[in-house]
A and B are shown apart, each in its own frame.
Chain A
Amino acid sequence: MSMRASGIHLHVAGFDLLSGISMQLEPGTVTAVVGPNGAGKSSLLRVLCGDLPATSGEVLLNGRPLAAWDAATRARTLAVLPQQSTLDFPFTAREVVALARIPHRTGAARDREIVQAALEAVDAGYLDKRYYTHMSGGEKQRVQLARVLAQIWEPAPEGGRVLLLDEPTSAFDLSHQQLTLDVVRRFAGEGVAVLAVLHDLNLAARCADRMLVLSCGVLAADGTPAQVLDVTLVERVFGLRCILMPHPITGTPMVVH
């Protein structure tokens, strides 16, 4: 088990943002978190990465509580992509991605290779000398994705790697959405436990092994996309009448409305 959360409650300023959430991330699987706006998806991600301390409950990374890890050691196993980035200084794409190697001691030559490979993995190789402040939203998001990939590029001796992504594809066109999901799947194939907050149910169903559905801070469903997605759940959680049909080729469920 790469990451396990049990009995997470998050109470902030008089509101219960999360109540009684227990979940786990297995090595080699992609877990998608879906839910309507304000359901607590990002809050859950922030609790899992240690940005927000849970009011009660516990998050274990490779069997040890998050807070018990030394910061640099933890950074070699856990990488987090935030929803928005505030970088406002003219770094080149290469320099941004190179920041991911701060917690590592692999040497400059190896770091350069990893940075280049990570940029190419997200189709941002052509950006390497461009300035971050001059990039489009989608390009910035790809560079940030390359950064978190470079952070956990190689297996860590400290334990299973975990990748947490908050809306990684929100600024992408269709082909880059697909590319991102392919990269994420490839990472999972190497044994990384991936959790991605996604707002597109079809995208989630297509790429995830497991889906967590959040509704008003509680876990409404947890299982494979085929188990989780049904017409009554979508109507109950999202307030949307829809029909479900299998994808003509892959057979994964598709929500049509």
Chain B
Amino acid sequence: MQRLLPRAPFLALLLVALPVAVVAALMTGPVSISPGAMAHAITGFLDSPRAPSRDALILLDIRAPRVLLGASVGLVLASCGAMLQGLFRNPLADPSLIGVSSGASVGASLVIVCAGSWGGLLDATGLGLVAFGAFLGGALATVLVYRLATSAFGTSVNTMLLAGIAVSAIAGAVNGLLGYMADNDMLRQMSLWQMGALGTANWPRALIATGVAVLMCIWLPREARALDALLLGESEARHLGIDVQRVKRRLILLTALGVGTCTAMAGAIAFVGLIVPHLVRLAIGPNHQGVIPGSALGGALLLVLADAAARVVIAPAELPTGIITALLGAPFFVALLLRQRRSL
């Protein structure tokens, strides 16, 4: 399979496409706002911030945090996916493999079922108790998987895969049990959460996710060469002077933080972490100096577009974003795989 594009034009293309998609997403929704009206609303708001127009309210209170949250979550999920696929030397790895997603879903379900009555407790922060439960659950599951796979000889990625599967199975069972105990309303909340949705976006959530996204943008490119070397094998990477154990610990911690936060803020949005790095690799080859920024930009782009679609397909109601990412992403992914197989 030939690479479609050299790295630089591909990244440039994404860099242009992302702002375009952001503007398009700000325009779209049950009430569509043209670019002219958007500019008018924003200048109007800047002139008299105390009396915002209807358009300004929609843009600033609803759509802007939502688009920002979508872009940040997409960026983090896809770049963490790229990093894990490199670390596990497996193009099918995704963040759920190390238990972070399933742990987060147990955390969220536990809060929904057991602590539904304390709902008002954290509303002051605008984050909600469910988000805290999800983050804690994801972080705990990752630490558990990492500890299970780490011995005196270092961390075995194969054992991590197996431990991740086991932890996910346990999490699935606990989730089932919680679902059995839950009433109808809680069940609906749980299943909506598991589909992943950006509908709960507000500024605090968006800013937290953006903070994590900025951290990823600063940190991950530094790991690109180590990840390239790791694709050769762990022992080969060590002989190239990479401190493999420290790289692993850092990357797993970063994933737990990044994916844990994203899942807490937006629910379990499937597929972005798996498919985006894969597509980027098909387009520009496996070099991480391209795959990591490409996945970051591509993930942000995909989620912004998917969320815009989620808001309009059955307007005025909206679909959970996770359903759209899977519905749009999976067939595209299959088509690419088929093309790749035919060209072999």
Interface flag for B236 (CB, 8 Å): yes
Q: Which residues of B contact A100 (CB under 8 A)?
A: 240
Interface flag for B339 (CB, 8 Å): no
Question: Total A-B residue pairs with C-beta atoms closer than 8 Å?
Answer: 65
Known: A90-B1, A90-B286, A91-B286. A99 touches B235 (CB 8 A): no
Interface residues of A in 142-173 (CB under 8 A from B): 151
Q: Kindly state the separation between the CA atoms of A71 and B238 in the bound complex, as whole angstroms.
A: 7
Instruction: For the complex formed, measure the closest distance between the CB of A127 and the CB atoms of chain B, giving whole angstroms.
Output: 15
Interface size on A, residues (CB 8 A): 28
Interface flag for A15 (CB, 8 Å): no
Instruction: For the complex formed, measure the closest distance between the CB of A163 and the CB atoms of chain B, giving whole angstroms.
Output: 11
Flag if A91 contacts B287 (CB, 8 Å): yes
Known: A86-B233, A90-B286. A72 touches B228 (CB 8 A): no
Q: Mark B235-247, 1 if CB is under 8 A from A, else 0.
A: 1101111110000
Instruction: For the complex formed, measure the closest distance between the CB of B324 and the CB atoms of chain A, giving whole angstroms.
Output: 30
Flag if B240 contacts A87 (CB, 8 Å): no
Known: A90-B286, A91-B285. A82 touches B235 (CB 8 A): yes
Flag if B238 contacts A99 (CB, 8 Å): no
Q: Say which residue of A49, A85, A91, A102 sits within 8 Å of B241 (CB atoms).
A: A102
Q: Which residues of B contact A95 (CB under 8 A)?
A: 285, 287
Interface residues of B in 17-69 (CB under 8 A from A): none
Interface flag for A79 (CB, 8 Å): yes
Q: Which residues of B contact A78 (CB under 8 A)?
A: 239
Interface residues of A in 41-100 (CB under 8 A from B): 49-51, 71-76, 78-80, 82, 85-92, 95-96, 99-100
Q: Kindly state the separation between the CA atoms of A51 and B145 in the bound complex, as whole angstroms.
A: 24
Q: Kindly state the separation between the CA atoms of A79 and B236 in the bound complex, as whole angstroms.
A: 9
Q: Mark A28-50, 1 if CB is under 8 A from B, else 0.
A: 00000000000000000000011
Q: Kindly state the separation between the CA atoms of A75 and B286 in the bound complex, as whole angstroms.
A: 23
Residue of A nearest to B340 (CB): A90
Residue of A nearest to B1 (CB): A90
Instruction: For the complex formed, measure the closest distance between the CB of B223 and the CB atoms of chain A, giving whole angstroms.
Output: 12
Interface flag for A189 (CB, 8 Å): no
Flag if A102 contacts B287 (CB, 8 Å): no
Q: Which residues of A contact B225 (CB under 8 A)?
A: 102
Q: Which residues of A contact B229 (CB under 8 A)?
A: 99, 102
Interface flag for B231 (CB, 8 Å): yes
Flag if A102 contacts B286 (CB, 8 Å): no
Instruction: For the complex formed, measure the closest distance between the CB of B10 and the CB atoms of chain A, giving whole angstroms.
Output: 16
Residue of A nearest to B85 (CB): A89
Instruction: For the complex formed, measure the closest distance between the CB of B249 and the CB atoms of chain A, giving whole angstroms.
Output: 15
Known: A86-B89, A87-B232. A103 touches B238 (CB 8 A): no
Interface flag for B128 (CB, 8 Å): no
Q: Which residues of A contact B238 (CB under 8 A)?
A: 50-51, 71
Residues of A bordering B, CB below 8 Å: 49-51, 71-76, 78-80, 82, 85-92, 95-96, 99-100, 102-103, 151
